[in-house]
């Protein structure tokens, strides 16, 4: 076997779907976790400086944000390990499928059960990240509403006679309690908030984090399709081998 044929054989055993899904998963998780962590910190800073100046009013929110940041650490660590495991499983099943088709290898029930387990776990994680993707769109929506309000005030076409009548009250979203002081920002104060680095950075980081969650969801769907296909082929071939064995014995 020449060098060219050896390279072709090696490239034939690469699980390209799992490889693409792994790259997409790592990229998506990195964007979601990194940008989400920084955006949460910026959001808390902005609320403390402009909407809830008394510490006790947003003590619960501080605990929630810190808990979410710890969860982000866990998500990053888990998907780093899980992505490597799925990629290794993709190499194994791709090689097993090719050898099964060439009648050079017989898969075991244990191997097929492991593949089925990964299909089930990936399905559960895809559903979980679907919820995370929807949840990550909420701060994007809130910041977008605030940004459009500020843009409307600054627009020369708006013709606003009383800018102080235009307000953003974050208490109505349930982020801080109703007794928080001041709880809302109006007119020039609102415009100054939209000009701060915390608002600008957090807004764009939430957008990137939401995109990262979407990329991770797509990666999990690719994982699920690849592992489901490999499991179906292995199961079909194992049944075919058993039927051919029974036929030859009866013959």
The answer on pLDDT for 9 being more than 70 is no
pLDDT computed for residue 174 by the predictor: 81
Residue of 224 and 11 predicted with greater confidence: 224
pLDDT surpasses 70 at 113: yes
CA 47 to chain CA centroid, Å, is 26
Q: So what's the pLDDT on residue 117?
A: 86
61 close to 43: Cβ distance less than 8 angstroms: no
DSSP codes joined into one string, 3-62: HHHHHHHHHHT--HHHHHHHHHHHHHHHHHHHHHHHHHHHHHHHHHHHTB-SGGGGHHHH
What pLDDT, on the 0 to 100 scale, is given for residue 32?
94
Q: For position 26, what pLDDT does the model report?
A: 93
206 has a pLDDT exceeding 90: yes
At 117-151, the pLDDT tens digits run 888 899 999 999 999 999 999 999 989 988 888 88
pLDDT at 237: 65
> Looking at residue 5, what is its pLDDT?
62
CA–CA dist 197, 40 (Å, integer) = 14
**In whole angstroms, what is the distance from residue 122 CA to residue 116 CA?**
10
- Among 153-167, 192-206, 227-241, which range has the highest average pLDDT? 192-206
> What's residue 247's pLDDT?
31
Opening angle at CA 183, ends 177 and 188, nearest 5: 165
Task: Report the C-alpha gap between 148 and 136 in whole angstroms.
Answer: 19
**Looking at the predicted structure, is the pLDDT value of residue 209 above 90?**
yes
| Residue owning tokens 């790259």 | 23
pLDDT at 163 over 80: no
Mean pLDDT value of segment 36-42: 92
Least trusted range by pLDDT, from 29-33, 98-102, 111-115: 98-102
Is the CB of residue 36 less than 8 Å from the CB of residue 72? yes
How much of the chain, in percent, has pLDDT values that exceed 90? Answer: 30
Give per-residue pLDDT as tens, 42-85. 988 888 888 887 877 778 888 989 999 999 999 999 999 998 98
* CA angle in degrees (0–180, nearest 5) for 231-234-237: 145
How far, in Å, CA of 33 to CA of 215, rounded?
Answer: 12
User: What's the CA gap between 97 and 230, in Å, rounded?
Assistant: 7
Whole-number percent of the chain with pLDDT over 70: 77
The DSSP result for 137-181, as a single string, is HHHHHHHHHHHHHHHHHH-TTS--S-GGG-EEEGGGGTSS-TT-S
Is residue 91 within 8 A of residue 179, CB to CB? The reply is: no
3-state secondary structure of 186: strand
The DSSP output letter for 184 is E
């Amino acid at each position: 076997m020449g060098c060219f044929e050896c390279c072709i054989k090696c490239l034939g055993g690469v699980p390209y779907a799992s490889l693409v899904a792994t790259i997409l998963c790592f990229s998506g998780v990195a964007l979601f976790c990194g940008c989400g962590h920084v955006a949460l910190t910026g959001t808390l800073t902005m609320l403390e400086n402009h909407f809830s100046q008394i510490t006790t009013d947003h003590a619960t929110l501080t605990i929630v944000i810190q808990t979410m940041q710890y969860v982000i650490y866990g998500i990053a660590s888990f998907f780093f390990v899980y992505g490597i495991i799925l990629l290794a499983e993709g190499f194994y099943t791709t090689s097993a499928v090719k050898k099964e088709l060439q009648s050079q290898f017989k898969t075991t029930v244990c191997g097929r059960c492991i593949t089925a387990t990964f299909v089930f776990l990936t399905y559960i994680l895809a559903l979980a990240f679907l919820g995370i993707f929807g949840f990550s769109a909420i701060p994007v929506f809130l910041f977008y509403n605030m940004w459009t309000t500020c843009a409307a005030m600054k627009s020369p076409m708006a013709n606003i006679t009383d800018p102080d009548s235009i307000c953003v009250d974050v208490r109505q979203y349930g982020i801080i309690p109703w007794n928080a002081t001041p709880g809302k920002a109006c007119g020039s104060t609102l415009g100054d908030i939209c000009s701060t680095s915390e608002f600008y950075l957090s807004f764009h980081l939430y957008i990137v984090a939401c995109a990262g969650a979407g990329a991770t969801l797509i990666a999990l769907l690719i994982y699920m399709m690849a592992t489901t296909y490999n499991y179906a082929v292995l199961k079909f071939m194992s049944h075919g081998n058993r039927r051919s064995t029974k036929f030859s014995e009866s013959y």
